[in-house]
């Protein structure tokens, strides 16, 4: 099973006709959802906009490398993000899972933080170091949270207005060959400051490795807070171990797969699992926690 999984992950030499770069292969036409509802918009690869009670966060929104198969964020969505146009107005925070080219651009992140001076950034120290190499303004540093975690470190917990942020370092897929990569799983609860009793909790997993032994030491952490919706990379659906993590360890109500190639694998289509594949697609999230 491990051999099959690794073959799926490293098959980045797939050639895709550029005319099909944003072809819809799974989703229905995006639905219009009331702005005060808890919802998620898919932007490309693992890039997401999550909204609850007017609190908005972005996950892995800036990147330029599709490695010949993954969804880039379309130009019209990028333009709206940088213009602060709805629904990308009033962003509270950006989260970066890890510093790979299909998840992160230090220049784009710096440019965005420079334009919107009330947005916070949460990122692994590897990503933050690359931003610091561009000599950001000193004012910006106060809004950057560098999450420095080694393997086995206890989860960190951070709070800010409208957010409860927790991070765990879980190995990047392909472990142990990519042990040096700081991949973070973020569990984030969003709630309007005036309605803290009705949060929406989501989990962004980056390119996490589907080995249960990475997650079992943090069982108490996963159990302390129910996650309404998790966004695992789609390869979790292809192994018993990956499904066991999602169904038995992480304390998750539902999942929506991400990191799906433009041409969705037929086994994923046949699996009946939920996943994102069309930039701009919007889904309503589960009911907020009581």
pLDDT at 61: 98
pLDDT at 195: 79
Every domain of the chain and the residues it spans? 2-6+28-284
pLDDT at 5: 44
- Distance, CA of 76 to CA of 232 (rounded, Å): 26
The 3-state DSSP class for residue 77 equals: helix
- Taking the domain 2-6+28-284, which CATH number applies? 3.60.15.10
pLDDT at 290: 37
CB 114 within 8 A of CB 137: yes
pLDDT at 123: 98
Question: Residues with Cβ < 8 Å from 176, sequence gap 6 or more?
Answer: none
pLDDT at 206: 98
pLDDT at 14: 34
Residue whose structure tokens are 């651009």:
105
The 3-state DSSP class for residue 166 equals: strand
Q: What is the number of alpha carbons within 13 Å of residue 186 lying toward its C-beta?
A: 30
pLDDT at 36: 57
pLDDT digits (tens, 9 = 90+) for 215-248: 999 999 999 999 999 999 999 999 999 999 999 9
Q: Residue 44 belongs to what H/E stretch?
A: strand 39-44
Intervals of the chain under pLDDT 50: 1-34, 288-290
């Amino acid at each position: 099973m491990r051999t099959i999984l690794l073959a799926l992950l490293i098959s980045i030499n797939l050639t895709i006709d550029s005319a099909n770069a944003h072809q819809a292969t799974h989703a229905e036409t995006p639905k219009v959802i009331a702005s005060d509802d808890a919802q998620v918009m898919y932007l490309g690869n693992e890039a997401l906009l999550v909204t609850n009670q007017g609190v908005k966060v972005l996950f892995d929104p800036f990147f330029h490398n599709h490695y010949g198969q993954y969804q880039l964020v379309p130009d019209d969505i990028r333009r709206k993000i940088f213009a602060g146009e709805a629904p990308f107005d009033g962003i509270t925070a950006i989260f970066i899972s890890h510093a790979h080219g299909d998840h992160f651009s230090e220049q784009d992140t710096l440019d965005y933080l420079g334009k919107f001076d009330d947005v916070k950034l949460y990122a692994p120290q590897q990503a933050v170091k690359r931003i610091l190499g561009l000599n950001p303004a000193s004012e910006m540093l106060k809004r950057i949270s560098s999450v420095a975690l080694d393997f086995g470190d206890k989860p960190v917990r951070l709070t800010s207005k409208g957010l409860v942020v927790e991070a765990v370092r879980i190995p990047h897929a392909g472990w142990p060959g990519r042990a040096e990569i700081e991949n973070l799983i973020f569990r984030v609860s969003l709630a309007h400051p005036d309605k803290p009793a009705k949060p929406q909790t989501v989990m962004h997993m980056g390119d996490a490795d589907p080995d249960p032994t990475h997650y079992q030491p943090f069982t108490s952490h996963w159990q302390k807070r129910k996650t309404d919706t998790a966004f695992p990379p789609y390869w979790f659906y292809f192994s018993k171990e990956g499904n066991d993590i999602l169904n038995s360890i992480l304390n998750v109500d539902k999942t929506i797969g991400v990191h799906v190639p433009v041409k969705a694998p037929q086994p994923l289509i046949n699996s009946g699992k939920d996943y994102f594949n069309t930039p701009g697609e919007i889904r309503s999230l589960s009911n907020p926690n009581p």
